Chains A and B, each alone.
Chain A
């Protein structure tokens, strides 16, 4: 009787440990697709390439060179969604101007954006074709109207290897954004050795509809 009871306890413990392992599987952000390569200018007129930003987590958003009301509202939403300073590491907040612009215009825009916990870095180009390729590569949604084409708000997380990991069509809650960035940072930090298999297995079961 005692032996059978012990067996039952062992089986229950084994089942619980397996269930716990499944529940404790790491949370991962899906690998949606490769972020486009680019070489844009910053507000100081320096070239900033996609390669030079590798190794950092990027929060990328888009807007016009001259910030109108919707643009200011979006920058306010993104700024308020940013986690507090010090809670996330190596994050850059990038604003890509969607129309040809000079460094002076980029500097003016950078000064007019609502300050966030991470400083804005405004990037642009005077090469309309390159901008088109970058916007298409990031799959930035467009609105066509009689006044021309404009971009819809979007915030994108690009991981340090240059892979798009999340997209938000509406400004996320600060807690959501912080949780997503923290999950990404944890994966980068912990996805080594045997734990890499755990993370890769978690990717298998992560809903991913944006890669194709």
Chain B
């Protein structure tokens, strides 16, 4: 039985529309994948500029967290007398980097001290060397640290303590990831597993 011309036209139109929709939706999800929307942390899109505040590094040189363009930079605000959150985060990042294999060379960990009074460059160097000698500590001027911390949404405050530590420093526990252009790209909440962190870093390295 011959197909009526209007049915044929309708069919062709439908197929064209359907094909276009499939292409659009396919592009939509492909872009979603490209945009690394499956992070365990929070993606900032577009990425956010951060101030290039220069601080004294554990290597004795002046550095800003934005100095490591070409690498993905993982930034954490903590202090060497920190009893819990900082060692846990440093261990998590170390294990995540181990999971990255060769790609770990493209990830720089920067530990910004929120306790510059006690955290000298030497102390930071010795503290971070326990995790990985490539890790960089930053310390120095309190006002500069406060400016950098505020820009990252980090709050910290000294709290007197009766413990042997003398005082503790309350601080935001999130970890921040800068992309290869030195812009803030993701915020990782405290408590992610090394596998989750490695997965996010892998995505951000693409």
A21's nearest neighbour on chain B, judged by CB, is: B25
Which size bracket describes the interface of A in this complex? 35 or more
Do A8 and B10 touch across chains, with their CB atoms under 8 A apart? yes
Choose the segment among B119-127, B129-137, B145-153 that binds chain A (4+ C-beta atoms closer than 8 Å): B145-153
- B151 lies within 8 A of A36 (CB): yes
Cβ of B143 under 8 Å from chain A: yes
Residues of B in contact, count (CB < 8 Å):
44
- Contacting residues, chain A, for B170 (C-beta < 8 A): 49, 51
Q: CB within 8 A of B11: which of A4, A162, A200?
A: A4
Nearest A residue to B51 via CB reads: A136
Contact A37 B150 (CB under 8 A): yes
Q: Which residues of A are found within 8 Å of B153, using beta-carbon distances?
A: 34-37, 50, 137, 162
Q: What's the Cα separation between A35 and B156 when bound, in Å?
A: 15
Tell me which of A11, A12, A37 has the highest count of chain B C-beta atoms within 10 A of its own C-beta. Answer: A37
B98 at the interface (CB under 8 A from A): no
* Contact between chains at A37 and B172 (CB < 8 Å): yes
Contacts of B157 in A (CB 8 A): 39, 47, 49
Residues of A within 8 A of B43 (CB): 31, 200
Q: List B contacts of A50 (CB < 8 A).
A: 153, 155, 172
Chain A positions near chain B (C-beta within 8 angstroms): 1, 4-5, 7-8, 11-12, 14-15, 18-19, 22, 31, 33-39, 47, 49-51, 129-130, 133-134, 136-137, 161-163, 197, 200-201, 203-205, 208, 211-212
